Amino acid sequence: MLKYILRRLLLLIPILLGVILLIMFIMDLTPGDPATLLLGINATPEAVQQLNDELGFNDPLLVQYADYIIGIVHGDLGTSWQTSRSVFGEILSRFPVTLKLAVFSIILTAIIGIPLGIISAIKKYSVLDMICTSGAMIFTSLPRFWLGMMLILFFSVQLGWLPSNGIGTWKHYILPVFTLAAPTAAKIMRLTRTTMLETIRSDYVRTARSKGASERRIIAHHELKNAILPVVTTLGIEFGQLLGGAILIETVFSMQGISTLMINAIRMKDTPLVTGSIVFFATMVCLTMLVIDLVYTVIDPRIRTKYTKSS
């Protein structure tokens, strides 16, 4: 198992190298230069040229790439061209907001989606199943930014129960967390229902039922345990997407997380900050997928045995 974990961690190196090169190449293709954006359109060409030289913007792409890799090897993600602060410090100052959004959203997703999927599968073709399935289809089709704005209009503007923006208290997270979790919970509910229906028709379930096992034990130890693996995979993928894809929600609710930091960096053509943010996201997603694989070994002993033999 330890060898497997080390191999997965080493696999991060080529992934990050490719991500860095791709992001720097895309940023190099975008029009404009950071000096003009920082100094303004009234700046002299000499001042713009001098600042671009100081920032290293005029260096060839491969030179910028090599310098950035050398900096990462020494534990430095670079310095923001816009604020002259450490990129790592900028990310850490915003990361708690994005992390809270992602963690709370994925917990709420699991709490809502998995139980409703189980109930819907057990009571298939019933009125409850039709309600859950119809609700899941509706929430899956709703754009998150539209749902967020509707929640603000109703709960903040009309009722005045919850704040519409900011991150001051725990109440500020209720609306954005629900906005992120609702479509994802609908997806998890449908997936759980599908996988549960597949396991319900399996031979080992019929065998357990013929041996007199209680319905609760059959659901918990036979059906759910074998149906949960695809759900765990999807939850992990969704968590990674929530970490890097909460841009619209942070914008709608005026929450200063990493996503808004990255958007502002793109507008200012702040290549070190954009690259550092993407590298951070890519690392988090890769580590999340590693954690999912380790969770597999806890859920399914067959996978644990496979990893142990390969190690």
Can you tell me the mean pLDDT for 208-212? Answer: 74
Confidence (pLDDT) at 108: 92
Q: Is 167 in the same domain as 114?
A: yes
User: Is the separation of the CB atoms in 263 and 255 below 8 Å?
Assistant: no
Q: Is 214 in the same domain as 138?
A: yes
What are 86's strand-pairing partners? 79
Confidence (pLDDT) at 94: 85
CA distance linking residue 25 with residue 16, whole number of Å: 14
Q: Is 52 in the same domain as 121?
A: no
Q: How far does Cα 246 stand from its chain's mean position?
A: 8
pLDDT digits (tens, 9 = 90+) for 70-113: 888 888 888 888 888 888 888 888 888 888 888 899 999 999 99
Which is more confident, 306 or 134? Answer: 134
Nearest to 27 by CA among 237, 279, 255, 247: 279
Q: Dihedrals φ, ψ of 221, to 5°?
A: -100, -15
Q: Is 28 in the same domain as 136?
A: no
Q: Is 104 in the same domain as 30?
A: no
Q: Is 12 in the same domain as 50?
A: yes
Range of the domain at 120: 91-267
Whether 308 shows a pLDDT value over 60: the answer reads: no
Whether 59 shows a pLDDT value over 80: the answer reads: yes
Nearest to 300 by CA among 222, 196, 241, 199: 222
Q: Is 42 in the same domain as 174?
A: no
Mean pLDDT of the chain: 82
pLDDT digits (tens, 9 = 90+) for 163-191: 877 777 888 888 888 988 888 899 999 99
Number of folded domains that form the chain: 2
Q: Is 19 in the same domain as 147?
A: no
pLDDT digits (tens, 9 = 90+) for 280-296: 888 888 888 888 877 77
| Domain-terminating residue out of 41, 73, 105 | 73
Confidence (pLDDT) at 107: 92
Q: Is 102 in the same domain as 212?
A: yes
> Is the pTM for the entire model greater than 0.85?
no
* Eight-state DSSP code of residue 255: -
| Domain-terminating residue out of 73, 107, 126 | 73
Nearest to 109 by CA among 248, 232, 249, 270: 232
**143, 148, 149, 155: CA torsion to nearest 10:** 140
Confidence (pLDDT) at 109: 92
User: Is the separation of the CB atoms in 1 and 290 below 8 Å?
Assistant: no
Q: The domain spanning residue 195 has which CATH number?
A: 1.10.3720.10
Name residue, tokens 């190196």. Answer: 13
Whether 307 shows a pLDDT value over 70: the answer reads: no
Specify if 302 maps to a domain.
no
Specify if 81 maps to a domain.
no
Specify if 306 maps to a domain.
no
- Within the chain, where are the H helices? 2-29, 34-39, 45-55, 61-73, 87-122, 127-141, 144-151, 174-200, 203-210, 215-217, 224-244, 247-252, 258-267, 271-299, 301-310
Specify if 274 maps to a domain.
no
Q: Is 192 in the same domain as 57?
A: no
The CA radius of gyration of the chain, in Å to the nearest whole number, is: 24
Whether 45 shows a pLDDT value over 80: the answer reads: yes
Specify if 115 maps to a domain.
yes
Q: Is 188 in the same domain as 234?
A: yes
Specify if 284 maps to a domain.
no
Can you tell me the mean pLDDT for 213-233? Answer: 75
Specify if 56 maps to a domain.
yes
Burial of 217 (0-12, 13-18, 19+ CB in 10 A): exposed
Confidence (pLDDT) at 305: 62
Specify if 84 maps to a domain.
no
Can you tell me the mean pLDDT for 56-72? Answer: 87
Confidence (pLDDT) at 35: 83
CA distance linking residue 90 with residue 112, whole number of Å: 34
Confidence (pLDDT) at 244: 66
CA distance linking residue 100 with residue 243, whole number of Å: 9
Q: Is 51 in the same domain as 158?
A: no
